[in-house]
Structure 1
Amino acid sequence: MTLAIIVQARFGSTRLPGKILNPLGEKTALARVLDRCARIGGADHVIAAIPETDADDAVAEAAREAGYAVSRGSEDDVLSRYAKAVRDCGAEYVMRVTSDCPFIDPQICERVIALLQDTHADYASNSMPPLFPHGLDCEVFPAVLLYRADRLAREPGDREHVTPWLRQHPHLSHASLTGPGQGLERLRWTLDYAEDLEFFQAVYAELGEAAATASAAELAALCLRRPDLVAINAGRLDQRRLDGCEQAEIVSAPYRFRAAA
């Protein structure tokens, strides 16, 4: 199969405009996400899906400067932007990652891809329920189902958030890689607020360039050793994410962080 990792990215953000162009060490946060995605085994394409707006030209240029392909599409209809990016490269399968996840873990992504293949499900993720640290979410599904969603989804939320139509369709089968839980799901590794940026920059200050390739298990172990780092953005915990746990029809064996045990 041919697999495209599509990373949605934009300049606009009501909470922290231009957040993904901020530096984490020697590279932008966007480049860090794309570099980690490029390490996912089996990925044939890594594409930044960016809106066609003047404000987003800087984001497109940053992605290209980092060495990655760019597809431009609708600013608000992110589902159509994703579908266009996949059509541009002709991949058979799609993995969705968002640009606010500088610690996305390639190994976990590979496990989600394997889960889709092993279970023959239509859709697989690692967030139903969300038991990984916030910022490791990924989803994988066939391109033909993305195109079907693009044709049939009508609700604004389905268009903006790309995969609700796939996750909620009663005739599609779902699989989920279950995270370690035990409180690790309360760790916040997503870039949305100024406190999040401060957290990521503090981790890079602590680990140096090793932070660029540190595994989720290694990062979790660091957080357990350094509660002062966790405290930086703990006040931005998304309780709604934890309260709104979705259960999948097929659930894999739990994924454990051995280094954090």
Structure 2
Amino acid sequence: MIGCILQARMSSTRLPGKVMMKIDNENTMLDCVINQLKNSKQTKNLVIATTEQKEDDVIVELVKRREIKYFRGSKKDVLDRYYQCAKKFDFSEIIRITADNPLIDYEILDTVVEHFKSNNYDYITIDQPQISTFHQTYPWGYNVEVFTFSALENAWKNAKLTSEREHVTPYFYKNNEIFKQTSIENSEDLSRFSCTVNTKYDLELIQKIYSNIKKRPILLSDVIKLFKANPELVKINTHVKADNN
């Protein structure tokens, strides 16, 4: 059974509490990610994976109101959080999404999952240069990762570095000889755009995107169309793009 694990926590070095900040009058950033994911045919088994810290009780309250399953685990060892969550819900395949990407595109997600399944990969992602020669082609904020539980368990048992435990998947792409994996690139280079949220400027841009685009869900093509018609929007967080990278 494939499951989508969405990691979310309140603590953030650059923008604390960002996942619960309002994007529009009704939705927090976490709400927006969930709303975008709900359109995918691959995310029927959605679980929010947060931490055991009291500060993350507010995330659990939101998730309960929305009648979505949740899991609480380690704050710093996110690899363990994913492993324990996947084990509890008996997921054989896992889609990894992070809560700081409120424009995640379900069409991209579905394409990645379909490619993953049809080729029997252990791990797949987009724009990972350590796997292939691909350069960055998607805007920041659209990342999708999919991996098998057996690959996750392998990483959980053998990953030793703090960075490998915190960022979940580095052990995969550092060990190309162990895991069958690939990275997908976009047909057009859109790497000059950043739609992830790490700073107040990123948040401002996302709020403007949501206020300008009325249709739901919002697709990557909608965002690019908006950017090309209103190039001044891109300038809002251009100076922090390198930091987001």
TM over 0.5: yes
**Residues 85-120 of structure 1, C-alpha deviation per residue, up to 9 Å, x if partnerless?**
111211110011100000000110111111112222
SS in structure 2 at match of 1:124:
strand
> 1:187, CA displacement in angstroms?
0.6
SS of structure 1 residue aligned to 2:238: helix
Measured in 1, the distance between the counterparts of 2:101 and 2:34 equals 10
Per-residue deviation at 1:3?
1.1
Q: What SS does the aligned partner of 2:141 have?
A: coil
Gaps of 5+ in 1: 242-261
Residue in 2 aligned with 1:216?
220
Query: Per-residue CA shift, 1:42-63, capped at 9, x if unaligned?
Result: 3331111101001111122122
Which residue number in structure 1 is paired with residue 7 of structure 2?
8
Aligned residues: 237
Describe the shift of the 1:177–1:59 C-alpha distance in structure 2 as closer, same or farther (beyond 3 A).
same
Match of 2:22 in 1: 23
| 8 Å Cα contact 2:10/2:18 also seen in 1 | yes
1:174 matches 2:181 = yes
> RMSD over aligned Cα, in angstroms?
1.5
Q: Which amino acid aligns with 2:210?
A: Y
CA distance in 2, matches of 1:77, 1:201: 31
Match of 1:147 among 139, 149, 153: 153
**Stretches of structure 2 lacking an aligned partner (at least 5 in a row):** 129-133
What amino acid is aligned across from residue 206 of structure 1 in structure 2?
N
Cα shift at 1:239: 6.7
With 224-233 and 120-129 compared, the bigger mean Cα shift is at 120-129
Q: Please give the alpha-carbon distance, in whole angstroms, between the structure 1 residues aligned to 2:139 and 2:184.
A: 13
Task: Establish whether residue 192 from structure 1 lines up as the match of residue 198 from structure 2.
Answer: yes
How far apart are the structure 2 equivalents of 1:172 and 1:20?
32
Greater helix content: 1
Q: Distance in 2 between the 1:141 and 1:198 partners?
A: 33
Q: Structure 1: how far apart are the matches of 2:178 and 2:89?
A: 28
Amino acid of the residue matched to residue 183 of structure 2? Answer: S
Shift of 1:240: 8.1
Hey, what does 1:111 align to over in structure 2? 111
Q: Deviations over 1:201-248 (max 9, x none)?
A: 11122124x2x412111111111111111111111113784xxxxxxx
CA separation of 1:32 and 1:240: change in aligned 2, threshold 3 A: closer
The two structures have a TM-score, normalised by structure 2, of 0.92
Question: Which structure 1 residue ranges, 4+ long, deviate > 3 Å from structure 2?
Answer: none
